[in-house]
Structure 1
Amino acid sequence: MSYFQCNAYIITKGMLSFFWIFYICAIETYATTSSDFRSYPTTIKTYENDTVLLPCYVEDQGAQTRIRWWREGHLLADSLEPVWPPERILIYKNGSLQVLNVQREDSGEYVCQVIRPSPWGHVTQVHEIEVMYPPSVKTIPESGELEVNLGEEVHMQCKAKGVPTPVISWKMEGKEMALRDERSNLTFLADNRNCSGRYTCVATNEVSDPAVAHIDLRIRYKPEIYVKKPWVHAFPGIRVQLDCTAIAWPEAKVDWYFKNETLTYTSRIVRHDSGNDHSLVIRNVKISDYGSYVCRGSNSLGITEKMIELSEIANPAIFKKESRSTSKTSYNFIWEVDSYSPIIEYQFWFRKYKRDANGKWHRLYIPGDNNAASPVHVHSFNLTGLDTATHYEAVVLSRTRYGWSHPSAILRFHTEGASIDSSENSQTDDDDEQNRITGIQLASMSQHYPLATDVNGSMYHRVKTLSLMLSMLCTLIITLDSRF
């Protein structure tokens, strides 16, 4: 059909519809005030394949009555003229119209037109059939799969059909989404990779069980790399494992680097990959294995890497939960260090802590446990002379013959009577805090508190030097005295 023919058909059909609507409106205006009907306009709600009977009863006034049934401008049946009613349509002698085996397309208005001679005139009555059927849904995109980049806007839609009109709700990974109103369109910003998942559209109209359809959303983002231990302590001859986790979509390609060069795998150095988890196993560690290892993940959106340091230096100390206040002015600390080498000494740093103004750091040297047989070194230290009802923070380092370890995470603590605030009484181990403390042993900290140590402690050497100087001074005084 040409464009012109198509438009002509539409115009013609529109004109017929206009005249039909005008006609119905005209006669219905009269019918509205008519009391001749013994039946009442009704809306019949029914189900598919049922049979519906539409009444059209008028007062018997002895005049010949002609009844016609119309639907959407089309004549369905005529009580006087032999018309061929559509299939499944039957008109009775009393004017009622029967619709057999109703289908969804039978929904709509049915007009009963009663035609009588003067002076009664014409009257009409309108009935409606509403065929109820269960909801059905389909999604946009129809594939049920959607991918967007992190930070982009997500658009998904659920189109539902059913009578009564279905109510739409959404679920994300099986949990109800709290939306302000019922909606078929869902739009939001994919500002978090955790937005990925299965979104379920639920259409409900109480005719039967709800209809559901799914859209699987994937957020594309560059790799995120996590390491269990950024610093791993190892001793020559043992087996060690470096672990990292790479999360990304599309899936990340993971490579290991050593001292900025691609790592060469051997029977002694092997890698293991299981989903997002990646491990590097080094059997029989050698001195040449010490250094920086990089776990690098890459995909089409970018590259991310994290470093793991393998070293003979002891692991950072970890404060134990058993650390507690022992009096109003003292606190007992317990920490644990993994080290295959004996701990020669510890540096213990502490200061008063406030959110806006922290005090000066104080440093103590504490003797180690040279004779420990286990690679796990547990040490207890009771700090006295603290102020009552005061918040503090502390950090500890350990030294072996290979050097000083990295600082522990900061432990925030308080003496008895201090107000308890979760932000002022906890162990902090985030990157910012760790970076702030990394140079602690190089900073100029307030004052140095002497503490007795063993023969390997630094205080021993200072005391020994001081004793030697005093001895020399005494010798000099005795010599001068003998001359005079």
Structure 2
Amino acid sequence: MLLDTNRRSCSPGWSYCWKLLLVTSLFIQGTTPSAARYTDSNYLEEDKYSPGFLTLGQKYSIAIGSRVVLPCKINETENSSHYVLAWKRDIAVLTAGGVKVTVNPRIRLMPIQGTTDQHGALSTGYNLEISDVRVTDAGDYICQIGSMEPKEIVHTLEVLVPPKIDFVSPQNKLDVHKGAPIRLECQGSGNPPPKIIWSRRNNVLPNGEANKTGPVYDLLHATRHASGHYKCTADNRVGQPDSRDILVNVLYPPEIEVEQQIVHSGVGHEAQLVCIVHAEPAPNVIWYKETTQLGTTEQHSQQVRGNKHSLIIRNVTYLDLGNYTCQASNSLGKDRGSLSLSGLPTICYFDSPTLSSYRDQYNISWTVQSYSPI
């Protein structure tokens, strides 16, 4: 059995206390340069008077807040009572024999009850338990057999920390003029260091890619298509990813797309003229018939749905036929779109087959839309 430092008595005689003081002084001195570190799990010490390690030193990667048990198992010999098994972290003694030296309440010593292997050899030792693991717990933990030439194994504890975004630039929102460069920055921490991934909510990135990896996202020339919510995500596969959103708002003068340049209708029918207006800040849209500005009347009404601006004409008359203009303006500029309301039939489309079914005749058919008799 290993030396039990829980004993408080030095009887019979003082030799027990003398041995304990001698071994303790060796621990306080730290690991000697000649200390042997074992990496083989076989019986490393054939001498029946000197115990050897049955545990390999290894690396443990543990998530923060978890529990870890560091093993230290040795073979018991006839002379084991002359040795003390101790746990150290660097040069700090954590335990000596069955005595806990550290005041850290999260560290606990776990005795290994003597067991016999298939060869009949008896083993014993002490495991070291660390609960609620913290970042500061990372490092090397040494299990040492105290003697004039100490033997030891080393366990390395790596503490895994979930990702956290520490810095985002700009904060929350970026207003940028069309044509100007865009730079978004995102930095995160964790162990292992997290990967930073950029994406855009409900859309691909302006270059057509779904995402981009790296702490910085650059766009040389902003277009209106670059507007949107950009997401920076930090992920290191420990716990849940962390993310932040940046709203990019590209400012630009109005740009108008005419949905249908020539709108066909007829007297007594309804007509709808549509302009698609893109602008930031939001534009003011005015409709004109020739040079006359149109307001809202029983016959004329204006409708806005998103960026779709419509002029609705009910019960069209001959006076309503002609040229119309939609004009959009904001603080950065203005744009115009031209449309025509026509009472003429649409262009006819020939839908007869290319080859005739007859040798001496050919049937021609076409389709045309008209609100008036043809």
When the two chains are superposed, the root-mean-square deviation of aligned CA atoms in Å is: 4.4
Aligned with 2:354 (options 306, 325, 329): 325
User: Which of 178, 181, 184 in structure 2 is aligned with 1:150?
Assistant: 178
| Greater Cα shift, 166-175 or 242-251 | 166-175
Match status 1:53 vs 2:73: no
Task: Find the aligned partners of 2:212 and 2:267 in 1 and give their Cα distance.
Answer: 65
Q: Which amino acid aligns with 2:276?
A: T
Question: Which residue, 215, 219, 223 being the options, matches 1:188?
Answer: 219
Supply the distance in 1 between the matched residues of 2:288 and 2:33 (Cα, whole angstroms).
Answer: 87
Structure 1's 29 and 243: CA in aligned 2 closer, same or farther, altered over 3 A?
A: farther
Alignment deviations for residues 283-340 of structure 1 (CA, whole Å, 9 cap, x no partner): 455555454321112223331210123455x2551425x2542369x99573525364
In structure 2, give the amino acid aligned to 1:242: L
Question: Cα 1:231–1:238, aligned 2, differ >3 Å: closer, same or farther?
Answer: same
| Residue type of the alignment partner of 2:142 | C
Q: Deviations over 1:28-60 (max 9, x none)?
A: 675458967513221223345543332456777
Structure 1's unaligned 5+ residue stretches are 1-22, 341-373, 378-484
Q: Which amino acid aligns with 1:109?
A: G
SS at match of 2:135: helix
Residue of structure 1 in register with 2:133 after alignment:
103
Task: State the one-letter code of the partner of 1:152.
Answer: A
Among 219, 241, 244, which residue is 2:250 paired with? 219
The corresponding residue for 1:44 is: 60
Distance in 2, Cα, partners of 1:179 & 1:231? 38
- Equivalent of 2:155 in 112, 124, 127: 127
Instruction: Sort the Cα spacing of 1:308 and 1:114 in 2 relative to 1 into closer, same or farther, 3 A.
Output: same
Q: In the TM superposition, what whole-angstrom CA distance separates every residue of 1:130-179 from its partner, at most 9, and x where no partner exists?
A: 34455455772475444433333333345455555545545444578757
Partner of 1:336: 368
Q: In the alignment, which residue of structure 1 is the partner of 2:107?
A: 89
- The list of structure 1 runs, each at least 4 consecutive aligned residues, that deviate by more than 6 angstroms after superposition, is 33-36, 58-62, 92-95
Aligned length: 312
Instruction: State how far apart, in whole Å, the 1-side matches of 2:212 and 2:162 are.
Output: 22
Query: Using a 3 Å threshold, how does the CA distance of structure 1 residues 112 and 174 change in structure 2: closer, same or farther?
Result: same
Aligned AA for 2:89?
A: W
Distance verdict in 2 for CA 1:235–1:109, change over 3 Å: closer
Q: Distance in 1 between matches of 2:354 and 2:136?
A: 82
Contact residue 259 and residue 293 of structure 1 kept, 8 A: yes
Structure-2 separation of matches of 1:283 and 1:180: 48
Q: TM-score, with normalisation over the residues of structure 2? A: 0.63
Q: Structure 1 residues 157, 123: closer, same or farther in 2, change over 3 A?
A: farther
Q: What CA distance in whole angstroms lies between the structure 2 residues aligned with 1:198 and 1:154?
A: 13
Residues 280 and 180 of structure 1, relative CA distance in 2, 3 Å threshold: closer
Q: Pick the structure with greater CA Rg.
A: 1
Structure 2 residue identity aligned to 1:79: A
Q: Which residue number corresponds to residue 396 of structure 1?
A: none
Larger RCO: Structure 1 or Structure 2 (Cα < 8 Å, ≥ 6 residues apart)?
2
Calculate the TM-score normalised by the size of structure 1.
0.51
Query: Which structure has more helix as a fraction of its residues?
Result: 1
Overall identity of the aligned pairs, in %? 25
CA 1:66–1:239 in structure 2 vs 1: closer, same or farther (change >3 Å)?
A: closer
